[in-house]
Amino acid sequence: MQARPATRRDAEAITRIYNQGIEERIATFETRPRTAREIQAWFDDTHPIVVVEEEGVVVSFANTSAYSTRECYSGVAEFSVYTAREARGRGAGILAMKTLMEAAERAGFWKLLSRVFVENGPSRKLLLSLGFREVGIHEKHARLDGIWRDVVVVERLIRANL
């Protein structure tokens, strides 16, 4: 497996993987499948996006996005990581996150954070192994298919930028 910065040409592959996550209802509150055109809007030249390839096929991605529009939070980025069903459990998500963390450091971010469904054990385990800490639980954060879901807030400081 090999990781690299994502480009707009990766939008189709990212869309396929992201839509699997939406369909499975295990990693996002989103319910509407996305289009490649919508994913291309993620590329803002500020927030890193990376992909992991296996035999030339994108099997995982990790992305950052704005945490807030307030200037004082400009160094804080939200992140997500998704791996295609067929590639899970083989280290693609770990490689995506390690590569994203390096890219976020180069981009000047001082903190990465996200919210993970409390029952998403594999994601929580992956993030803990990479030095993220679980800050706390947001109870009934939002509804997914009419059911209230709790999320764990995770964060990791990027010490080089503090």
Condensed to tens digits (0 to 9), the pLDDT of residues 104-143 reads 999 999 999 999 999 999 999 999 999 999 999 999 999 9
What is each CA distance from 46 to 42, 70, 74, 95, 162, in whole angstroms? 10, 15, 10, 21, 18
pLDDT at site 46: 96
90 three-class SS:
coil
Percent of the chain with pLDDT over 90: 100
Residue 23, CA distances (Å) to 20, 145, 153 in order: 5, 11, 22
Burial of residue 37 (number of CB atoms within 10 Å: 0-12, 13-18, 19+): exposed
Quote the pLDDT of residue 71.
96
The tens digit of pLDDT for each residue in 77-98 reads 999 999 999 999 999 999 999 9
Question: pLDDT > 70: what percent of the chain?
Answer: 100
Residues in the chain: 162
Q: Give the pTM.
A: 0.95
Q: Which domain holds residue 127?
A: 2-161
| CATH code assigned at 110 | 3.40.630.30
Mean pLDDT, rounded, for 16-41: 97
Domain count, the chain: 1
Task: Quote the tokens at residue 42.
Answer: 């993620």
| φ, ψ dihedrals at 110, nearest 5° | -110, -10
